[in-house]
Structure 1
Amino acid sequence: MPQHSSRIALITGAASGIGRSVAERLALQDGAMVCIVDREADAAREAAHSIEAAGGRAQTFVADLADSAAVQRMLNRIDAEIGMPDIVINNAGIAATIPVLDYPLSHWQLTMAVNVTAPMLIIQHVLRGMKARGWGRVVNVASISGVRAGTGRLGYGTSKAALLALTRQFAVEAAEWGVTVNAVAPGPIETPMVKQMHGGSSTDIYRDMMPMRRYGAVADIAHAIAFLASENSGFITGETLAVDGGFLASGLLVRDLFAATPLAVAAHS
């Protein structure tokens, strides 16, 4: 029997990209009833129908995560129609590449609302049910931009750093209830949002900074999230798993360093 056949999974931003891949994985391989949460109604319904056509279980919940009242209504509807979630994947996020001197307050507030406040409200809500059952899995989709600063990432990078801190804060208090709270930090992944941020010639610049010299696939992130949401991850909490092709580990990456003039070796006596 699939490990999550009796469980309910809530995935935000699940109409496309990483979120959809995660929803398909949890529903079709692990047997969970998945709640497709997204602001794009048509895309969310198509994702749910696709899962159902493949033999899985899915239902759509449309909400604008920038609106705290709408988030609460969505959570109440899930509780009433499906039941309290056992698994939460906070995947939805927004981003923009803007110089620090030009970054507008309105976009800062919107970014924090979607990337930080909405996950906080969702986790706070579902933890009550998870605590009562003595089991739960929360996985927050952050970014390597929350670990290492980058050009144009004032709002996005700061919000993802806050999401990583939020992960640890919830983890330490929820651990004794049998609930784990972890995060994944994707590197450059082939998603519509990343393509928009990395458009044009900058695509090659980002690819050259990757030790694996390629962008990741949404399935790479889905596999990592599925592990952190599984029974096998029960003693892991408060952690951030980078899924980035070695980007964070690389430090100063110099291409073809050893193909040039041989480096002098210092003698030691």
Structure 2
Amino acid sequence: MADKIAIVTGAARGIGLATTRLLLRDGFRVAMLDIDAEELHARAEGLSGVRAYPCDVSDPGSVTATFAAVAADMGGIDALVNNAGIADFGPIEETDFTRWRRVMDTNLDGVFLCSQAATPALIARRGVIVNIASISGLRASTLRVAYGTSKAAVIHLTKQQAVELGEYGVRANCVCPGPVRTKLAMAVHSQEIIDAYHDAIPLNRYGSEEEIGEVIAFLCSARASYVTGQIVASDGGFESTGVGLPALRK
């Protein structure tokens, strides 16, 4: 595994940073990409086996230049983790085209651009793509007309990638996190929201960044060598609950 190279976008914090650490544990060298250059370099400084590349995944020019730099510095690509994304929520009637495009630019276009840039290298090494969508791409929710739609599109894009790249030995899978106990979530989720999630999730808790990262790391590994085109909800059972009326819970 010593010569395995992974690219992780949105790697400066949260799930991306947790995934980076887990891939390092598994023997990958990791190209860490993030739009926040200062935070990216600060996080990369304490890690062995990484290189940091500031990159705006929504900008075709930035993606092209960054992936060329990764190729020059690190060689091929064995795994691409498309994790970078933004959460910009609001009522459907208040969602203008500016908000819509801002979300799509990063959450959908970024996945497309990075995947296209990586495809020749992934084909050469029979690599793997892991796209990070969301439980919001599997089930509708309030305030998420742009966010949820972008993540649903990522799910379908993953299936297209699996079907079209499979003949080259390239695998593509998608992880859909449920509520995750990140610093951002805990800063904006009231106790009422936390209690509501507790009632709605069969495991009765938020997930951790590391728990999501473990699923991603597995899909990047040879242990998942016959797994492609799959949408994995890492959500404590949230997507399985259907109506899930709290009054019916014991």
Tell me the TM-score range normalised by the shorter chain.
over 0.9
Q: 160, 167, 170: which is aligned to 2:158?
A: 167
Residue matched to 2:4: 7
Residue matched to 1:177: 168
Q: 90, 113, 121: which is aligned to 1:121?
A: 113
Residue matched to 2:181: 190
Alignment of 1:1-269 (within 5 A): 4-27=1-24, 29-52=25-48, 57-133=49-125, 135-195=126-186, 198-199=189-190, 201-255=192-246, 257=248
Tell me the secondary structure at the aligned position of residue 51 of structure 1: coil
Cα separation, 1, equivalents of 2:75 and 2:249: 58
Residue type of the partner of 2:59?
D
Residues 258 and 11 of structure 1: CA distance in aligned 2, closer, same or farther (over 3 Å) = closer
Give the TM-score taking structure 1 as reference length.
0.88
Residues 258 and 16 of structure 1: CA distance in aligned 2, closer, same or farther (over 3 Å) = closer
Residues 75 and 245 of structure 1: CA distance in aligned 2, closer, same or farther (over 3 Å) = same
Cα separation, 2, equivalents of 1:106 and 1:76: 30
Residues 258 and 31 of structure 1: CA distance in aligned 2, closer, same or farther (over 3 Å) = closer
User: Identity of paired residues, percent?
Assistant: 37
Q: Once the 2 structures are TM-superposed, how far is the Cα of residue 205 of structure 1 from its aligned partner? A: 2.0
CA distances 1:91-135 after superposition (whole Å, capped 9, x unpaired): 1110122000001211211111101111111111211122123x1
Residue type of the partner of 2:41?
R
Tell me the secondary structure at the aligned position of residue 34 of structure 1: strand
Decide whether the 8 Å contact of 2:57 with 2:113 is kept in 1. no
CA distances 1:47-92 after superposition (whole Å, capped 9, x unpaired): 212222xxxx001000122222212111111112222321100011
Cα separation, 2, equivalents of 1:108 and 1:200: 29
Cα separation, 2, equivalents of 1:102 and 1:14: 31
Residue range with higher mean Cα deviation, 191-200 or 231-240: 191-200
Decide whether the 8 Å contact of 2:63 with 2:117 is kept in 1. no
Q: Once the 2 structures are TM-superposed, how far is the Cα of residue 195 of structure 1 from its aligned partner? A: 3.5
CA distances 1:177-228 after superposition (whole Å, capped 9, x unpaired): 1110000000000123434553463232223211111100011101100111
Cα separation, 2, equivalents of 1:148 and 1:197: 21
Tell me the secondary structure at the aligned position of residue 203 of structure 2: coil
Tell me the secondary structure at the aligned position of residue 60 of structure 1: strand
* Greater Cα radius of gyration, structure 1 or 2: 1
Tell me the secondary structure at the aligned position of residue 2 of structure 2: coil
Decide whether the 8 Å contact of 2:8 with 2:20 is kept in 1. yes
Cα separation, 1, equivalents of 2:128 and 2:186: 30
Decide whether the 8 Å contact of 1:35 with 1:61 is kept in 2. yes
Tell me the secondary structure at the aligned position of residue 97 of structure 1: coil
- Specify every segment of 5 or more residues in structure 1 that has no aligned partner in the other structure, as ranges: 260-269
Decide whether the 8 Å contact of 1:66 with 1:110 is kept in 2. no
Decide whether the 8 Å contact of 2:135 with 2:233 is kept in 1. yes
CA distances 1:138-177 after superposition (whole Å, capped 9, x unpaired): 1001001001000000110000000001000011011121
Give the TM-score taking structure 2 as reference length.
0.95
Residues 63 and 231 of structure 1: CA distance in aligned 2, closer, same or farther (over 3 Å) = same
Cα separation, 2, equivalents of 1:137 and 1:66: 21
Decide whether the 8 Å contact of 1:10 with 1:35 is kept in 2. yes
Decide whether the 8 Å contact of 2:180 with 2:208 is kept in 1. yes
- Specify every segment of 5 or more residues in structure 2 that has no aligned partner in the other structure, as ranges: none
Q: Once the 2 structures are TM-superposed, how far is the Cα of residue 256 of structure 1 from its aligned partner? A: 5.5
